[in-house]
Structure 1
Amino acid sequence: MESNAARLCKLRALGVVEKYMTARSDLGIYNNVAVTAWYTYTRTSSMSYGNVNLRTALFNAIATVISQHPILSAIPLGTNTLTPYFAHLPSIDLNQVITFIRIPNLYVHSEGEDKSSHGRSPALDRFIQEQHNRPFAYTQPLSPFWRVYILTDENEDEHTSDESKGQFVLSFFFHHCIADTKSALVFHQSVENALAHPNRESQENSDGIVRTMEMDLLPPLDDFLDKGSPSLITRSMDQEQHAQPQSSSTNTNTWTGPAQVVPVTTKFRSLRASSITSSKLLETGKKRGLSLTSTLQSMLAAALFECLPPQYTSIKIDCAVSLRQWLPTPVTETSMGTFVDIFGETYSRESEQATFSWDDARRTQRAISNVMQRRKGDELWKTLMQVENGDLKAWLQGKLGHSRVCAMELSNVGKLPKPASPTRESKGYEYQIEGLLFSQSAGACSAAIKVSAVTGRDGCLTLGFSWQEGVVDDKMVERVICELERIVKETLQESEQGDRRKPLLTTN
């Protein structure tokens, strides 16, 4: 690998957040992230180019996407030093990074729902769990730190009687040093657009080898911060040190789960709300001036409290935040890179009977509004910049064996935007993303339970629960999920009853 790497062109040094991501993976603390999407395709013209060939269509589409986003042809090197960097891969073998798999019972429809919706698939959960336990590694020849899986249901015939339409699942797994979850949505949108509008003049070679152009990468997050971007306010060192959370070990009433340990084996379970439930949950919060994130995070806190022994009266939940909306050009909403921060909120209960409280949701919303106003979270990058000698691996290793700070982490990447309208010249098949599922590895030096949220174009909110085997019991997570479902159901019922009790407006 070293001889191959030495011949690669150096693009730029890793930023501090990117270094943090590679340090975690090198130490086996955290592996990868994924966004899985359900795609449908429909023949739109009698002049289509024969029956759809998924392999050809997807190889060509992903080759196009690689040409649009230079980070997809970059690989981190020198990660065992204090000066890691991105290098350019002059070619990518799509046969190495794209895998087609047929899985039994992949498409599971929830009872009583429209067949166009996609219910939880235990088979898909098992597959995702398996892939989150596969770290990226340096191969011969070198491959990028991302991979794509095209999944179809083994129980469905490859050639149905109606070849004018079909469906498949595309799972995009990636190393966190090259992309955040917003970037994964950009990837899927780019694939969708490339499928709908194939570029037949610049397709990949028949052998699946894509020759890539050497292009500049977007600057790392800390480049914007070092330049004193007016959109990102800084605080003094004294304020920053004062803002650092105290160790949870000093408070025996705070639950954070067992100590931070390796190795990490990820367990995963998804939860999908119907489009009706998702819409009601969003609207119920909106009536109170609350975002879906503030409502969901407070409900998760109540659900977790229900599963904890009574001596624990406090928990902290971290919430991820995307900074890209406040960064100057060249970063845009369609960029791929790592532009994230995080902030924490503490929740308490006064009795054994933990209940969801709209007051907690309003307090959480105030914290979110504060983040939006300040255009930053708790400044993870600043903490990383203060690490002695910049040795993030030593810093992370020093955390192992000690208490965690957070019980849970919520990452809500939002809803996938609507696709661009197809052009009149578009012939063949129209591809459409419907449902989405966001998932990630468990982490040794982070919250005991990670919850990843996303809403697809089908209107369904899906949650991916990740936890570390041996750190959090499987049955406990199942209880948290059951309690969350109960809280959502009861809250929506109470809200509907309250609406019905409201008197009609009258005029004198």
Structure 2
Amino acid sequence: MDRISPEVLLPEKLRYLGKLEQFSSARHHLGLFRSVGISCTFASSDSLSDSSIRHLVFAAVSKLLHLHPTLSTTIINEESNNPYFVRLPSIDLEQVVKFVERLTPIDPLSGSDVELDTLLSLQHNVSFPIRQVQWKIVISSHSQFPRLFTMSLFFHHALADGASALIFMRDFHTALNAVTTAESVPHTFIPIPAAIPQTLESLCSPPTLPTKSSSDTKPSSATSTSPGTSNFRSLALSPLTTTALLQTCKAHSTTLGAVFPVIIASAILRSSPSLSTECVIPINLRPYLGIDGDSIGVYYDGFSVSLPHGEINWDAARKVGSDIKTHLEGVKEGHINVLKFQKIPDMIEMFRHRENKGGFDVSNLGRAKPGDEGKWEMARCTFNRSAFVGGGDFTLGIVMGRDGWLSLGFAWEEGRMGREVMEGIMGSVRTVLEEVVGRSNSV
């Protein structure tokens, strides 16, 4: 029998990580930031058994792995200054897709889901194993409603960004409507030899390296490089409230993405006035750099705005909107803040000396786009993530589901922000929203 060369058994080396990708791989290695995620609820017009749903989910995920080669990669040498992607020889879907039974049914008319929040918190505190798949899926459902399940996707931030999460869910929706229970689905997927997307840096030529990033903020606390524990809580605004909020924003010549930083700053004033109101706003770069809008990868920038300590201020909201527009105009000219990472020779060492920053992040994904129509419908979505040790005091992720509910997901680090403090901020956010839309019973 011929002997197989050892090189044949090695994973296929694809490319080195770009500096923006290294920003996340270093954080993951140190346990400072573990994952980004999105949860979407899907409802079928047909009644299905648990085994049928399991079969359809595996079939749909298999189609996505063919569609997005990035999902078939892992990261080697994450602990070094030269991490790189390799293609996995195979993926065992049984290991990365888990099914759990909910204790309580999904309530499509409730503005909160404590059971889902608990699941998300737990998953965001687990790092991805070395040299293995860097994403995972948890399907949660209740036997009382066999036509309904929630898919929660978690992924390494060096593989994908928030916009990628929506791309994944849209394509999963299309695949779910295309597969049948009659299809034969092997639970071990063999990746195809396809190229993965380029780095952000390679698409920005010639690069413009800012001498000072507008996302830099003054440190508010001591250096912390110890792995942190994440907490996550969400609240959702009804379609009625969401519509009223959008109309109010339009009436004041601003947008949802511009007003939420101001709403959060107002809520901080009411509940925790000692906290910073410096806000970092991530931006999806795909539409501005000619990047394929269907590409799963890491293509975002970020900038900060200083918000006044005060009650809701529409001038401040319009100023945030103007700042977003100005930043995007700069992006078109090549002025991208995250390109400054190219100046950092040792990303891990940088994080070991990085000081915690105050303030907060507001990341708005917009409205989730559905896939091709069929028996399955996409409904509520929740954008979620780990807390970032060394980042802001907390983060807010916003996404509107296909059911019209607007989800607000808050993540914070245990011990740095007390639960009672975050509950106070979230309660104040509710109050401010009630005042903004003038409907005290609809939030």
Q: Return the TM-score normalized by structure 2.
A: 0.91
Distance, in Å, in 1 between the alignment partners of 2:402 and 2:17 is 34
Residue of structure 1 equivalent to 2:218: 248
Equivalent AA in structure 1 for residue 162 of structure 2: T
String of CA shifts for 1:334-365, please: whole Å, max 9, x gaps: 1111101111000123xxxx311111111111
Does residue 194 of structure 2 align to residue 215 of structure 1?
Answer: yes
Q: 1:98 Cα deviation (Å)?
A: 0.5
| Superposition deviation, residue 315 in structure 1 | 2.4
Asked whether the equivalents of residues 93 and 143 of structure 1 are also in contact (C-alpha less than 8 Å), the reply is no
1:327 to partner: Cα distance: 2.3
Partner of 1:13: 16
Structure 2: segments with no counterpart, 5+ residues: 1-5
1:174 corresponds to 2:155: yes
- Amino acid in structure 1 at the alignment position of 2:229: T
Q: Quick one: distance in 1 between partners of 2:213 and 2:236?
A: 36
Contact 1:204 1:210 in 2 (8 A): no
Corresponding residue number in structure 1 for 2:40: 37
**Per-residue deviation at 1:418?**
3.9
Q: What's the offset of the Cα at 1:260?
A: 3.7
Show the 5 A alignment for 1:349-364.
Answer: 349=309, 354-364=310-320
Q: Max radius of gyration: which structure? A: 1
Q: What is aligned with 2:103?
A: 104
Residue 433 of structure 1 is matched in structure 2 by 378
Match among 111, 114, 135 for residue 127 of structure 2:
135
Shift in CA distance, 4/292, structure 1 to aligned 2, threshold 3 Å: farther
Inter-partner Cα distance in structure 2 for 1:345 and 1:97: 39
Structure 1 SS opposite 2:45: strand
CA separation of 1:88/1:360 partners in 2, compared to 1, >3 Å: closer, same or farther? same
Q: Is the 8 A contact 1:118 1:435 kept in 2?
A: no
Contact 2:137/2:151, CA 8 A, preserved across alignment: yes
5 Å-filtered alignment, 1:297-446, equals 297-309=261-273, 312=274, 315-328=277-290, 331-349=291-309, 354-375=310-331, 379-387=336-344, 390-399=345-354, 402-404=355-357, 406-422=358-374, 430-446=375-391
Partner Cα separation in structure 2 for residue 459 and residue 167 of structure 1: 17
C-alpha distance in structure 1 between counterparts of 2:100 and 2:49, whole Å: 23
Distance 1:474 1:416, change over 3 A: same
Query: What is the CA–CA distance in structure 1 between the aligned matches of 2:8 and 2:24, rounded to whole Å?
Result: 20
1:425 paired residue number: none
1:369: how far off?
1.2
The answer (yes or no) to whether the contact 1:275–1:461 under 8 Å persists in 2 is yes
Q: Deviations over 1:382-435 (max 9, x none)?
A: 221111xx2100011111xx341x41001111101243344xxxxxxx111111
Instruction: Quote the sequence identity (%).
Output: 25
* Residue matched to 1:125: 117
For residue 244 of structure 2, the aligned residue among 272, 280, 294 is 280
Closer, same or farther: CA 130–50 of 1 in aligned 2, 3 Å: closer
- RMSD in angstroms over aligned alpha carbons? 2.6
**Cα distance between partner residues in 1 of 2:245 and 2:145:** 38
Q: 1-side partners of 2:350 and 2:50: how far apart?
A: 55
Shift of 1:106: 4.5
Task: Determine helix, strand or coil for the equivalent of 1:471.
Answer: coil
Q: Check the 8 A contact 1:77/1:84 in 2, yes or no.
A: yes
The 2-side partners of 1:438 and 1:95 are apart by 24
Closer, same or farther: CA 258–42 of 1 in aligned 2, 3 Å: farther
**How far off is 1:247 after superposition?**
5.4
**SS of alignment partner, residue 34 of structure 1:** strand
- Give the TM-score of the pair, scaled to structure 1: 0.80
CA distance in 1, matches of 2:145, 2:239: 29
Aligned length: 434
| Unmatched segments (≥5 aa) in structure 1 | 109-115, 159-165, 229-233, 250-255, 423-429, 496-508
Task: State the 1:308 CA deviation.
Answer: 2.5
Give every structure 1 segment of 4 or more consecutive aligned residues whose post-TM-superposition deviation is greater than 4 Å. Answer: 3-6, 49-52, 199-203, 242-247, 256-259
Q: Tell me which residue corresponds to 2:3.
A: none
Match of 1:23 in 2: 26
Q: Tell whether the 8 Å contact from 2:370 to 2:378 is kept in structure 1 after alignment.
A: no
Q: Which residue of 2 aligns with 1:292?
A: 256
CA contact (8 A) 1:147 1:172 kept: yes
Q: Per the alignment, do residues 220 and 380 of structure 1 end up closer, same or farther by CA in structure 2, a change over 3 Å counting?
A: same
Residues 343, 378 of structure 1: 8 Å contact kept: no
Instruction: Say which SS state the counterpart of residue 268 (structure 1) adopts.
Output: strand
Contact 2:367 2:402 in 1 (8 A): yes
Deviation per residue, 1:25-75 (Å, 9 max, x gap) = 00111000110001001139xxxx999701111111100110000001011
Cα distance in 2 for residues equivalent to 1:487 and 1:186: 32
CA contact (8 A) 1:313 1:348 kept: no
**Aligned twin of 1:189:** 170
Report the equivalent of 1:427: none
Contact map agreement 1:90 1:214 (CA 8 A) in 2:
no
Range that drifts further, 192-201 or 117-126: 192-201
Aligned counterparts of 1:82 and 1:314: Cα–Cα separation in 2: 33
CA distance in 2, matches of 1:106, 1:65: 28
* 2:424 counterpart (467, 479, 485): 479
Give the aligned residue type for 1:151: S
Spell out, residue by residue over 1:155-187, the C-alpha distance to the aligned partner (whole angstroms, 9 max, x if none): x276xxxxxxx1001000100011111111111
Instruction: For 1:316, give the aligned amino acid.
Output: E
Query: How far apart are the structure 2 equivalents of 1:51 and 1:464?
Result: 29
Alignment check: 8 A CA contact 1:77 1:86 kept: yes
CA change 1:245–1:196 in 2 (3 A) is closer
- Name the residue aligned to 1:502: none
The code of the aligned residue for 1:321 comes to I
**Following TM superposition, by how much is the alpha carbon of 1:119 offset from its aligned partner in structure 2, in angstroms?**
3.2
> 1:426 maps to what in 2?
none
User: C-alpha separation between the residues in 2 aligned to 1:313 and 1:54?
Assistant: 46
**Residue 415 (structure 2) aligns with:** 470
Structure 1 residues 452, 472: closer, same or farther in 2, change over 3 A? Answer: same
Q: Contact between 2:177 and 2:373, CA under 8 Å: does it hold in 1?
A: no
Give the deviation of 1:323 after TM superposition.
Answer: 0.3
